[in-house]
Amino acid sequence: MQLFETVREMGHEQILYCHGKNPDIRAIIAIHDTSLGPAMGATRLYPYVNEEAALRDALRLSRGMTYKAACANIPAGGGKAVIIANPADKTDEMLRAYGHFVESLKGRFITGQDMNITPDDVRTIYQETKYVVGVEEKSGGPAPITALGVFLGLKAAVKFRWQTERLDGLKVAVQGLGNVGSNLCRHLHEHGVELIVADVSPEKTAEIKQRFGATVVEPDEIYSQAVDIFAPCAMGGIINSQTIPQIQAKIIAGAANNQLENERLHGQRLVEKGILYCPDYVINAGGIINVYNEMIGYEEDKAFKQVNNIYDTLLAIFNIAKQQSITTNDASKRLADERIMKARISKKQPVAA
């Protein structure tokens, strides 16, 4: 990868490579855009196959955070960090060393909990830096409110597609039953939805089967299920040339970041196949909305009101996409770009930064 060429093309401001020998740590903090405010984005720990895969994930995730904050109308920029490690090798020392790197950015980057980072880990990082959100004593982990936002976004998609407020009788396939996926299953079950689920963890599938009567399928069988809605709540890149031909659902509404492997190509393929796609960074904004509110002084009512807006924002995006014959992903990106551009003009920054 030509690093400077890539970041120029994607619009990143800064990439910080964090390295330590004792404790052993390799992490990448990517700051995409701070036109709207300090870069916010949680930290993911993952055993990436190589460093390029980790960098690519950090670059795409951080850019998604810029669009996410802009579409949610939150005065925050986009950033994200990845720690390259096997979850089994995670130590408190590693997390504290990582906290030092976050602290060194003096608030330009504010982080929280993504995959394989637990609320206890957030507390450990918090020992070294105050630039951490989603701390248990404040607003808590953002996953339940992210799941609520995804649920509301899914309802907006059902309303747009089938002109109904009701979900009972629908079948939803949920991929990934972690912090967000399990909470989404709860909302759907409470509204009479039939669940088909998959996770690489047999403990998690067993729990969701027992709690909500879900049907469990193998991870690679989740795409081809005869369902109304597919809800990806695990890794990104899962909507691609291999999976699109298998998908029978008419709506894709899930929490995973960066669902489209190639935004232009696969966004267009979904349109051709008549599948309504809820742009990930719009439907999964509940987390950033909640942690942003924590940062400015948490008021639960205010945060929930903003999360409720996800429903209307998505309906507006679906309508723009329909009227302008563009993909829903392009419609949401236009909304984000307009807001970022306005902020740059009012701060007298170059508009094409």
Ligand X SMILES: O=C(O)CCC(=O)C(=O)O
The residue assigned the tokens 């960090």 is: 81
3-state secondary structure (DSSP) of residue 151:
helix
Is residue 201 part of the contact set for ligand NAI (CB under 6 A)?
yes
Q: How far apart are CA 245 and CA 129, in angstroms?
A: 46
Q: Is 200 in the site for ligand NAI (CB under 6 A)?
A: yes
Closest listed residue to residue 42, CA positions, set 53, 56, 57, 52: 57
User: In the bound complex, what is the minimum distance in angstroms from residue 340's beta carbon to ligand X?
Assistant: 17
The position carrying tokens 């936002």 is 149
In the complex with ligand X, the residue whose CB is nearer, 142 or 214, is 142
- CA dist., res. 124 & res. 96, Å (int): 6
90 is an active site residue: no
The CA distance from 263 to 280, in Å, is 11
Interatomic CA distance for residues 111 and 129, integer angstroms? 10
Residue with smaller CB distance to ligand NAI, 35 or 146: 146
Instruction: Give me the least distance between CB of 76 and ligand X, in Å please.
Output: 9
Closer to ligand X by CB, 111 or 183: give it: 111
Among residues 115, 282, 317, 343, the one that binds ligand NAI under rule CB under 6 A: 115
Does position 178 interact with ligand NAI (CB under 6 A)? The reply is: yes
Q: How far is CA 266 from the centre of its chain?
A: 18
Which of residues 15, 25, 28, 42 is near ligand X by CB under 6 A? 42
Q: Is the CA virtual torsion 110, 340, 251, 285 positive or negative? A: positive
- To ligand X, the closest distance from the beta carbon of 241 in angstroms equals 25
- Write down the least CB distance from residue 75 to ligand NAI, Å: 19
64 is a site residue for ligand NAI (CB under 6 A): no
Q: Which of 41, 99, 144, 232 forms a contact with ligand X (CB under 6 A)?
A: 41
Phi, psi dihedral angles at 192 (to 5 degrees): 75, 20
If the CB atoms of residues 259 and 327 are measured against ligand NAI, the closer one turns out to be: 259
Q: Dihedrals φ, ψ of 97, to 5°?
A: -65, -40
Catalytic residue positions, numbered: 80
Q: Residues interacting with ligand NAI, by CB under 6 A?
A: 114-116, 142-143, 146, 175-181, 198-201, 204, 219, 233-236, 255-257, 284, 287
